[in-house]
Amino acid sequence: MPVANARGQPLTADAPDDSVVSASELASAPFQHRGIDADTRSRITSEGAAEPTVSSNAMVLNLVTGGLGTGMLSLPWAMAGASVVVGVATILFVIAVNLWTIMILVRAADKYQVFDLAAVLGHLPGRMGPAMQICTNIMVWVALLGSLISYIIGMCDSARPFIAGTLLEER
């Protein structure tokens, strides 16, 4: 029995190929409109995970901006030494290279179904894979430790004017 709205009209939705799909067809194949294959669909539903809510474009944009990271903080300083044309061209080039490398990592992660950088690099051929996995994990820990230490130093230096003359100053 087809699903209908309050007026008794059958509910329909536009499919990617501009055909009309009824609500009952959508209910029986909820992942079909995203082009998710049967194996992935059964894995998603058997694990009880929710349907993905992030589009591919949003995910790539998030990865690119995350990859640029704190380099954006030095952008005004870098642009001051270059002309506008060279600066904008350099920024566009760096974004393109960043997008290209991130897409390589995303495709590799999808191919091997591992979703952290070290695990992806662990699939490199020969002895290089396990060595790169260990090296990457160590470097991630070192970078995080350095960030935390820098954060603590910055917080202490920023708090110093506010705690002057209080009991906390002598600590």
Q: Angle at which helices 56-68 and 84-112 pack, to 10 degrees? A: 120
Q: What pLDDT digit, counting tens, does each position of 45-79 carry?
A: 555 555 557 777 777 777 777 766 767 777 788 78
Q: Using CB atoms within 10 A of its CB, is residue 136 exposed (0-12), middle (13-18) or buried (19+)?
A: middle
Q: What pLDDT digit, counting tens, does each position of 12-46 carry?
A: 544 444 445 454 554 455 445 455 556 665 555 55
